[in-house]
Amino acid sequence: MLAKIQYQSAELEIDFSKPLDISISLRGDDKNPVAWYLKHPEISPVRDGNFIGKVSEGASVNFNNIWFNPHAHSTHTECVGHISREFESLEKHLKTYFFRSRLISVEPEKKGADQVITKAMLEKKLSGFEGEALVIRTLPNYIGKISRQYSHSNWPYLEEAASVLIREKGIRHLLIDQPSVDKEKDDGKLLAHKAFWNFPKQTRYDATITELIYVPNKIEDGEYFLNLQPASFLNDAAPCKPVLYKILNL
């Protein structure tokens, strides 16, 4: 379905018939990605006395319980409530769901044992961009990201200055294919989170971070129309299904 949309000061032509899903599906086994030292998610039928919620076991319906943590197990979108003392929910602060976005691919710079996404490597890739969302694909990019065991892996992360640049560019929605924009073990500093949200002095409550995405190599760098689709959880973070759509008239 082709549609022409007036978005801010531009008319965009979008092909909604060809969605580009950049989420990772949650599954109840050890092929699910895992971070933050938890075990894998569990999806299992309800058991109550002689009742087992599984059609193949004689029930009339499949009736599963699901145990998971959005930060550790799934593509998720989070608000500043992830780091604030006061309770803040994503559902309270995210009120619109479509955004002009830019997808960029970056190869993190090696600094000792770390792999860092720097301000310098983002400046050129963000030149001239005036949209609201940034999607970062780290290189090398491989299908194993959708089932990787991330705990104790010291994944690539954003340096504080890079996060400040993203904020100063007016980008309010940041997406990345790692479990966190920050270093796995940073003694709780959370410098990239805090810089992006401008926390705590002039906090950007309507800004979000989406982590644990996966962008297939067939999706080219460039500008897209992004749809964020978080589930309705009264929590700092919720599972999310971000979808990109090509903008045909750029």
Average pLDDT per run of 10 along the chain, which is 250 residues long? 83 95 97 98 97 97 98 98 98 96 98 98 94 97 98 98 98 98 98 98 97 98 97 98 94
Fold annotation for 2-25+70-246: Glucose Oxidase; domain 1 (3.50.30)
- As a whole number of angstroms, the distance between CA 216 and CA 141 comes to 8
CB atoms within 10 A of CB 27: 17
Q: What pLDDT shows up at residue 110? A: 98
Q: What pLDDT shows up at residue 60? A: 97
Task: Output the 3-class SS for 213-231.
Answer: CCCCCCCCCEEEEEECCEC
Q: What pLDDT shows up at residue 6? A: 86
Cβ neighbours of residue 18 under 8 Å, at least 6 residues apart?
A: 245, 246
Q: Tell me the pTM.
A: 0.97
Q: How far is CA 188 from CA 3, 83, 192, 193, 208, in A?
A: 45, 10, 11, 11, 19
Q: What pLDDT shows up at residue 2? A: 83
Q: What pLDDT shows up at residue 7? A: 81
- Report residue 186 as tokens: 């940073």
Q: Parallel, antiparallel, or unpaired for β 157-158 and 114-117?
A: parallel
Altogether, the residues listed in the chain come to a count of: 250
Residue in the block written with tokens 């009339």: 60
